[in-house]
Amino acid sequence: MVGGVPAYWLAAGADDPSRVVLYLHGGSYAAGGLATHRDITGRLSRAGSCRVLLLLYRLAPEHPFPAPVEDALAAYRALLLSGVDPARLVLAGDSAGGGLALALLMALRDAREPLPAGAVVMSPWTDLASTAPSLRTKADIDPWLVAESVPREAAVYLAGADPRDPLASPLYGDLSGLPPLLVHVGEDEILLDDAVRVAEEARRAGVLTTLKVWPGMWHVFQLFAGQIADARIALDEIGRFIKAMTPDVRP
Protein backbone atom coordinates (compact mmCIF):
# COMPACT_ATOMS: atom_id res chain seq x y z
CA MET A 1 0.00 0.00 0.00
CA VAL A 2 1.24 3.47 -0.89
CA GLY A 3 -0.85 6.29 0.49
CA GLY A 4 -3.57 3.76 1.23
CA VAL A 5 -3.63 2.56 -2.39
CA PRO A 6 -2.58 -0.97 -3.41
CA ALA A 7 0.59 -0.95 -5.49
CA TYR A 8 3.47 -3.12 -6.65
CA TRP A 9 7.14 -2.22 -6.91
CA LEU A 10 9.03 -3.56 -9.92
CA ALA A 11 12.78 -3.22 -10.01
CA ALA A 12 14.06 -5.27 -12.93
CA GLY A 13 16.74 -2.72 -13.76
CA ALA A 14 16.98 -0.31 -10.86
CA ASP A 15 20.65 0.59 -11.13
CA ASP A 16 19.78 3.74 -9.19
CA PRO A 17 17.00 3.12 -6.65
CA SER A 18 16.50 6.86 -6.21
CA ARG A 19 15.10 7.06 -9.77
CA VAL A 20 11.38 6.24 -9.59
CA VAL A 21 8.52 5.97 -12.08
CA LEU A 22 4.93 6.14 -10.84
CA TYR A 23 3.00 4.09 -13.42
CA LEU A 24 -0.74 4.54 -14.00
CA HIS A 25 -2.16 1.67 -16.02
CA GLY A 26 -4.78 1.77 -18.74
CA GLY A 27 -8.03 -0.14 -19.02
CA SER A 28 -10.76 2.49 -19.51
CA TYR A 29 -10.68 3.20 -15.75
CA ALA A 30 -12.51 -0.10 -15.30
CA ALA A 31 -9.82 -2.77 -15.76
CA GLY A 32 -6.09 -3.38 -15.72
CA GLY A 33 -3.52 -4.11 -13.07
CA LEU A 34 -0.60 -6.39 -12.35
CA ALA A 35 -1.73 -9.15 -14.70
CA THR A 36 -1.96 -6.81 -17.68
CA HIS A 37 0.95 -4.49 -16.90
CA ARG A 38 3.63 -6.57 -15.18
CA ASP A 39 5.56 -7.07 -18.42
CA ILE A 40 5.54 -3.46 -19.61
CA THR A 41 6.48 -2.07 -16.21
CA GLY A 42 9.28 -4.60 -15.83
CA ARG A 43 10.62 -3.66 -19.24
CA LEU A 44 10.29 0.02 -18.36
CA SER A 45 12.31 -0.58 -15.20
CA ARG A 46 15.12 -2.06 -17.27
CA ALA A 47 14.94 0.59 -19.99
CA GLY A 48 14.90 3.48 -17.52
CA SER A 49 17.24 1.99 -14.91
CA CYS A 50 14.61 2.80 -12.31
CA ARG A 51 12.17 1.44 -9.81
CA VAL A 52 8.58 1.41 -11.07
CA LEU A 53 5.56 1.67 -8.81
CA LEU A 54 2.50 0.21 -10.52
CA LEU A 55 -0.50 1.81 -8.83
CA LEU A 56 -3.74 -0.18 -8.53
CA TYR A 57 -6.11 2.75 -8.27
CA ARG A 58 -9.81 2.17 -7.68
CA LEU A 59 -11.87 1.25 -10.74
CA ALA A 60 -15.28 2.03 -12.15
CA PRO A 61 -18.14 1.32 -12.03
CA GLU A 62 -17.83 0.83 -8.27
CA HIS A 63 -15.43 3.78 -7.99
CA PRO A 64 -16.09 6.31 -10.76
CA PHE A 65 -14.49 9.71 -11.33
CA PRO A 66 -12.74 11.25 -9.46
CA ALA A 67 -11.64 8.20 -7.42
CA PRO A 68 -8.59 7.39 -9.62
CA VAL A 69 -7.42 11.01 -9.43
CA GLU A 70 -7.74 10.93 -5.64
CA ASP A 71 -5.77 7.69 -5.47
CA ALA A 72 -3.02 8.97 -7.74
CA LEU A 73 -2.70 12.12 -5.62
CA ALA A 74 -2.54 10.08 -2.42
CA ALA A 75 0.15 7.78 -3.79
CA TYR A 76 2.24 10.61 -5.19
CA ARG A 77 2.13 12.49 -1.89
CA ALA A 78 3.04 9.31 0.00
CA LEU A 79 6.05 8.74 -2.26
CA LEU A 80 7.35 12.21 -1.48
CA LEU A 81 6.71 11.74 2.24
CA SER A 82 8.70 8.50 2.08
CA GLY A 83 11.71 10.40 0.81
CA VAL A 84 11.39 10.13 -2.97
CA ASP A 85 12.77 13.29 -4.55
CA PRO A 86 10.30 14.72 -7.10
CA ALA A 87 13.31 15.66 -9.23
CA ARG A 88 14.05 11.91 -9.45
CA LEU A 89 10.44 10.96 -10.20
CA VAL A 90 8.70 10.56 -13.56
CA LEU A 91 5.03 9.80 -14.17
CA ALA A 92 4.07 7.27 -16.83
CA GLY A 93 0.77 5.93 -18.03
CA ASP A 94 -1.03 4.37 -20.95
CA SER A 95 -4.52 4.98 -22.33
CA ALA A 96 -6.74 5.96 -19.39
CA GLY A 97 -3.60 5.97 -17.25
CA GLY A 98 -2.03 8.46 -19.63
CA GLY A 99 -4.97 10.79 -19.17
CA LEU A 100 -4.79 10.21 -15.43
CA ALA A 101 -1.09 11.15 -15.41
CA LEU A 102 -1.90 14.48 -17.04
CA ALA A 103 -4.77 15.06 -14.62
CA LEU A 104 -2.44 14.34 -11.70
CA LEU A 105 0.04 16.89 -13.00
CA MET A 106 -2.63 19.57 -13.22
CA ALA A 107 -3.96 18.75 -9.76
CA LEU A 108 -0.47 18.97 -8.27
CA ARG A 109 0.25 22.25 -10.03
CA ASP A 110 -3.03 23.77 -8.87
CA ALA A 111 -2.28 22.67 -5.30
CA ARG A 112 1.21 24.21 -5.63
CA GLU A 113 2.84 20.94 -4.75
CA PRO A 114 6.20 19.78 -6.11
CA LEU A 115 5.94 18.44 -9.65
CA PRO A 116 7.80 15.40 -10.96
CA ALA A 117 10.67 15.75 -13.40
CA GLY A 118 8.56 14.72 -16.38
CA ALA A 119 5.82 12.48 -17.68
CA VAL A 120 5.42 9.83 -20.37
CA VAL A 121 1.98 9.14 -21.78
CA MET A 122 1.29 6.35 -24.26
CA SER A 123 -1.90 6.58 -26.33
CA PRO A 124 -3.45 8.85 -23.68
CA TRP A 125 -7.24 9.04 -23.40
CA THR A 126 -7.67 12.77 -22.96
CA ASP A 127 -11.13 13.59 -24.35
CA LEU A 128 -14.00 11.78 -22.66
CA ALA A 129 -16.43 13.97 -24.60
CA SER A 130 -15.40 11.81 -27.58
CA THR A 131 -14.92 14.63 -30.08
CA ALA A 132 -11.71 13.31 -31.68
CA PRO A 133 -11.98 13.15 -35.49
CA SER A 134 -9.87 9.98 -35.43
CA LEU A 135 -12.80 8.15 -33.79
CA ARG A 136 -14.28 8.31 -37.29
CA THR A 137 -11.27 8.46 -39.58
CA LYS A 138 -9.45 5.52 -37.96
CA ALA A 139 -12.49 3.40 -37.09
CA ASP A 140 -12.03 1.03 -40.03
CA ILE A 141 -8.31 0.46 -39.58
CA ASP A 142 -7.85 0.32 -35.80
CA PRO A 143 -7.21 -3.38 -35.06
CA TRP A 144 -7.62 -3.03 -31.31
CA LEU A 145 -10.30 -0.54 -30.23
CA VAL A 146 -13.94 -0.12 -31.28
CA ALA A 147 -15.03 3.48 -31.73
CA GLU A 148 -18.59 2.90 -30.60
CA SER A 149 -17.40 1.62 -27.22
CA VAL A 150 -15.47 4.77 -26.29
CA PRO A 151 -18.47 6.95 -25.31
CA ARG A 152 -19.99 4.04 -23.37
CA GLU A 153 -16.80 3.47 -21.41
CA ALA A 154 -16.51 7.19 -20.74
CA ALA A 155 -20.06 7.28 -19.38
CA VAL A 156 -19.35 4.42 -16.98
CA TYR A 157 -16.33 6.23 -15.57
CA LEU A 158 -17.92 9.67 -15.44
CA ALA A 159 -21.14 8.50 -13.77
CA GLY A 160 -22.81 11.78 -14.65
CA ALA A 161 -19.79 14.06 -14.25
CA ASP A 162 -18.96 16.64 -16.90
CA PRO A 163 -16.94 14.95 -19.68
CA ARG A 164 -15.05 18.22 -20.14
CA ASP A 165 -13.88 18.39 -16.54
CA PRO A 166 -10.10 18.77 -16.97
CA LEU A 167 -9.39 16.11 -14.34
CA ALA A 168 -11.37 13.64 -16.45
CA SER A 169 -10.42 15.05 -19.87
CA PRO A 170 -7.06 16.84 -19.69
CA LEU A 171 -7.53 18.13 -23.24
CA TYR A 172 -9.89 20.76 -21.81
CA GLY A 173 -7.56 21.84 -19.01
CA ASP A 174 -4.89 24.46 -18.56
CA LEU A 175 -1.65 22.62 -19.27
CA SER A 176 0.68 25.50 -18.50
CA GLY A 177 3.43 24.98 -15.97
CA LEU A 178 3.69 21.22 -16.45
CA PRO A 179 7.06 19.42 -16.67
CA PRO A 180 8.38 18.01 -19.97
CA LEU A 181 6.13 15.49 -21.68
CA LEU A 182 6.82 12.56 -23.99
CA VAL A 183 3.72 11.48 -25.92
CA HIS A 184 3.62 8.24 -27.90
CA VAL A 185 0.66 7.18 -30.04
CA GLY A 186 -0.03 4.73 -32.84
CA GLU A 187 -0.83 6.03 -36.31
CA ASP A 188 -3.71 3.57 -36.79
CA GLU A 189 -5.61 4.06 -33.55
CA ILE A 190 -8.93 5.77 -32.97
CA LEU A 191 -7.45 7.73 -30.05
CA LEU A 192 -4.75 9.24 -32.28
CA ASP A 193 -6.24 12.72 -32.01
CA ASP A 194 -6.57 12.48 -28.23
CA ALA A 195 -2.78 12.34 -28.14
CA VAL A 196 -2.04 14.75 -30.98
CA ARG A 197 -4.40 17.46 -29.73
CA VAL A 198 -3.25 17.32 -26.11
CA ALA A 199 0.38 17.52 -27.28
CA GLU A 200 -0.48 20.57 -29.38
CA GLU A 201 -2.27 22.20 -26.44
CA ALA A 202 0.67 21.50 -24.16
CA ARG A 203 3.07 23.10 -26.63
CA ARG A 204 0.83 26.15 -26.94
CA ALA A 205 0.88 26.39 -23.15
CA GLY A 206 4.67 26.49 -23.18
CA VAL A 207 5.29 22.90 -22.07
CA LEU A 208 8.32 21.15 -23.57
CA THR A 209 6.52 18.37 -25.41
CA THR A 210 7.77 15.60 -27.67
CA LEU A 211 5.12 13.85 -29.75
CA LYS A 212 5.91 10.69 -31.68
CA VAL A 213 3.32 9.06 -33.94
CA TRP A 214 4.39 5.47 -34.65
CA PRO A 215 3.58 4.40 -38.24
CA GLY A 216 1.27 1.42 -38.56
CA MET A 217 0.94 0.96 -34.80
CA TRP A 218 -2.17 0.59 -32.67
CA HIS A 219 -3.35 1.55 -29.18
CA VAL A 220 -0.64 1.04 -26.53
CA PHE A 221 1.39 -1.16 -28.86
CA GLN A 222 4.15 -1.04 -26.24
CA LEU A 223 2.27 -3.78 -24.39
CA PHE A 224 3.41 -6.13 -27.17
CA ALA A 225 7.14 -5.69 -26.61
CA GLY A 226 7.54 -9.45 -26.40
CA GLN A 227 6.26 -9.78 -29.97
CA ILE A 228 7.14 -6.69 -32.02
CA ALA A 229 10.35 -4.74 -32.47
CA ASP A 230 8.70 -1.31 -32.62
CA ALA A 231 7.35 -1.79 -29.12
CA ARG A 232 10.81 -2.59 -27.78
CA ILE A 233 12.26 0.42 -29.61
CA ALA A 234 9.53 2.63 -28.14
CA LEU A 235 10.23 1.44 -24.61
CA ASP A 236 13.94 2.05 -25.09
CA GLU A 237 13.12 5.60 -26.18
CA ILE A 238 10.94 6.06 -23.10
CA GLY A 239 13.77 4.74 -20.96
CA ARG A 240 16.12 7.33 -22.41
CA PHE A 241 13.58 10.06 -21.65
CA ILE A 242 13.28 8.88 -18.04
CA LYS A 243 17.04 8.94 -17.61
CA ALA A 244 17.34 12.33 -19.30
CA MET A 245 14.74 13.81 -16.97
CA THR A 246 16.45 12.34 -13.90
CA PRO A 247 20.17 12.52 -14.68
CA ASP A 248 22.69 10.96 -12.38
CA VAL A 249 24.23 13.45 -10.01
CA ARG A 250 27.97 12.91 -9.87
CA PRO A 251 30.47 14.71 -7.63
Active-site positions read 95, 189, 219
Which DSSP letter does residue 86 get?
G
Helices (H), 186-248: 192-204, 229-245
Distances (CA, A) of 234 to 102, 207, 221, 225: 20, 22, 9, 9
Q: Is 92 exposed, middle or buried (0-12, 13-18, 19+ CB in 10 A)?
A: buried
Q: How far is Cα 215 from Cα 111, in angstroms, rounded to an integer? A: 38
Helix axes 192-204, 96-110, angle to 10 degrees: 20
Alpha carbons within 13 angstroms on the beta-carbon side of residue 183 total: 30
Phi, psi of 8 (to 5 degrees): -125, 135
Q: Is 177 exposed, middle or buried (0-12, 13-18, 19+ CB in 10 A)?
A: middle
